[in-house]
Amino acid sequence: MENQELIKSVTEKAQGWLSPAYDEETRKEVQRMLDNEDKTDLIEAFYKDLEFGTGGLRGIMGVGSNRMNIYTVGAATQGLSNYLNKNFKDLKQISVVVGHDCRNNSRLFAEISANIFSANGIKVYLFEDMRPTPEMSFAIRHLGCQSGIILTASHNPKEYNGYKAYWDDGAQVLAPHDKGIIEEVNKVTSASDIKFEGNKELIEIIGENVDSVYLDQVKTVSIDPEVILRNKDMKIVYTPIHGTGMMLIPRALKQWGFENVHTVPEQMVKSGDFPTVVSPNPENAEALTMAVNLAKSLDADLVMASDPDADRVGIACKNDKGEWVLMNGNQTCLMYLYYIITQYTKLGKMTGKEFVVKTIVTTELIKEIANRNNIEMFDCYTGFKWIAREIRLNEGKKKYIGGGEESYGFLAEDFVRDKDAVSACCLIAEVAAWARDNGKTLYELLQDIYLEYGFSKECAINIVKPGKSGAEEIKAMMDNYRANPLKELAGSPVVCVKDFKTLKMTDGEGNVSDLEMPDTSNVLQYFSADGSKVSVRPSGTEPKIKFYIEVKELMHSRADYDAANKRADEKIELVKKSLGL
């Protein structure tokens, strides 16, 4: 009975897409789904509306209310336009920046969005071609705009596209604007509500005029140019994995003084099909295969890869056996902050007002480094908009010197308000040059950080549950963890449980206290007596539930690194059993 009701509901919704407000190609595809005896495609395309959430839109491209297409993108832009016109009604001219990545349809969606903004009387600065997400964030502030959007699905598979909305501080929208925009988007119920006819006089194409200013600003992130000068011949291999990084990152590295940069030719080809990788995600070893192979042939020192919208960076370096190994996002974040703090201290740049930021699922070693160096550290929710919020709240009072998250994002500056692979690639190259200057490899630098601050190992597990049934399974898993809290992690008793949905923290004795956070979030955290940490959260942008495991081990020397790693791996397997995975 329930299935028949669902088919009836999606059929009614789909029939609304047969009106003349939708183009002929869309109407034909909707009719094909309606006529098909197998209703799977129809249900997946229409069982819900692609939700404009606090992170914007993200979904599979195709026809239907639950897909990324000109109508769902159009509704988002119309709703955002309506909100901007209400919120900034006293401004003589409201303006926005529109950017996009290399994905299929990204340029189309960007141009359609530009037309809709301009049709609503809003001035548009439209990038001439694909550009990194951080540059779009920079442009909002640089051009004095009230908002901006970027068409990207970040590192998702090629079937996906997405739409991220930003506010006048260059950060992704937060309360109260996120909910205000969502309300306006939800009021757009039909294609006939969307103003598709653009006003060309209100659309200005931008490119090099912003690129050069942004790159000059990125250059200011360099802490020790002399170190680069002494190591300018260091061999670096870089790949943009077919994405926006190719537009600026090789140029930025050259501007910083690195003279021996090699790109992966096959991946310097702009393509939304990502033909050389299974997934364009620098978190996956496979995505760096071609870059590592090139590095082997060149006997390079460092490999770097940015994702399609160039906000994340993955790196690889040689270990003590000369083998190429990938660093995870926690490790790169550690190295960035260790370098920044060490160099700022050495150069006498510390004023006592510096602060760093990490997300709650990122390694606790960052807190250890900050505490020992008397630097304030803020813990925030996953997502760079929360790091940007800390920057905004402390602006003019304290100095932001870096922030990152385990998912390969880092930001060393405050003139951008999103993670930035352009500056991060340049900065990790400087860190490698500094290590080399001190007779170390990056790998040895990481080992030395562990020796000084303690060894930890992290493991992220993503369980994908697509579609309507998947969403229900994920909810049931979270409900079960709340109803039956974990008592131990790998045999070590749980001494603290944090539930960010209720904003309550429970200690080992059962005492409950409040968590101070700006909002609730569907995240559970468990901390055990031996320093292990587990975080569980459904993804806000993909059909998956994520588990973040961190375990501590003893490491007495560089020679002990492999043994500590092995013991940590064994402990992680036991933690998985505790979680029922």
Q: What is the pLDDT averaged over residues 328-340?
A: 97
d(CA 225, CA 430): 8
Question: Is 254 a member of any domain?
Answer: yes
The residue from 453, 475, 492 where one domain ends is 453
Give me the pLDDT at residue 55, please. Answer: 77
Give me the pLDDT at residue 339, please. Answer: 98
The dihedrals phi and psi of 297, each to the nearest 5 degrees, come to -70, -25
Displacement of CA 137 from its chain's centroid (Å)? 13
**Strand pairing report for 160-167 and 147-151:** antiparallel
Q: Does 265 have pLDDT greater than 90? A: yes
Give me the pLDDT at residue 541, please. Answer: 65
Q: What is the pLDDT averaged over residues 509-530?
A: 95
Q: Does 162 have pLDDT greater than 90? A: yes
Q: How confident is the model at residue 201 (pLDDT cuts 50, 70, 90)?
A: very high
Q: How far is CA 562 from CA 319, 455, 456, 554, 559, in A?
A: 11, 11, 12, 11, 7
Domain count of the fold of the chain: 3
Counting residues of the chain whose pLDDT is more than 90, the rounded percentage is 92
The residue from 453, 470, 494 where one domain ends is 453
Q: Does 540 have pLDDT greater than 90? A: no
Q: Residues 188, 245: one domain?
A: no
Q: Residues 553, 574: one domain?
A: yes
Q: How confident is the model at residue 2 (pLDDT cuts 50, 70, 90)?
A: low
Counting residues of the chain whose pLDDT is more than 70, the rounded percentage is 99
Q: Does 20 have pLDDT greater than 60? A: yes
Give me the pLDDT at residue 1, please. Answer: 36
Q: Residues 373, 502: one domain?
A: no
> Domain residues for 557?
455-579
Q: What is the pLDDT averaged over residues 230-244?
A: 98
Q: Residues 223, 363: one domain?
A: yes
Q: Residues 63, 131: one domain?
A: yes
DSSP string, 143-194: TT-SEEEEE--TTS-TTEEEEEEEETTSSBP-TTHHHHHHHHHHH--SGGGS
154 included as an active-site residue: yes
Provide the mean pLDDT of the chain: 95
> SS3 for 400?
strand
Q: Does 539 have pLDDT greater than 90? A: no
Q: Which of 55-59, 69-73, 314-318 has the lowest mean pLDDT?
A: 55-59
Structure tokens at 250: 């090789």
The domain that holds 237 is classified in CATH as 3.40.120.10
Q: What is the pLDDT averaged over residues 536-558?
A: 90
Q: Does 88 have pLDDT greater than 90? A: yes
pLDDT tens per residue, range 349-385: 999 999 999 999 999 999 999 999 999 999 999 989 9
Candidates 65, 81, 118, 154; catalytic one: 154
Q: Residues 134, 145: one domain?
A: yes
Question: Is 20 a member of any domain?
Answer: no
Give me the pLDDT at residue 176, please. Answer: 92
pLDDT tens per residue, range 203-219: 999 999 999 999 999 99
Q: How confident is the model at residue 467 (pLDDT cuts 50, 70, 90)?
A: confident
The packing angle between helices 442-453 and 329-346, to 10°, is 80
pLDDT tens per residue, range 421-434: 999 999 999 999 99
Q: How confident is the model at residue 508 (pLDDT cuts 50, 70, 90)?
A: confident
Question: Is 35 a member of any domain?
Answer: no
Q: Residues 442, 478: one domain?
A: no
Q: Residues 188, 56: one domain?
A: yes
The residue from 453, 481, 512 where one domain ends is 453
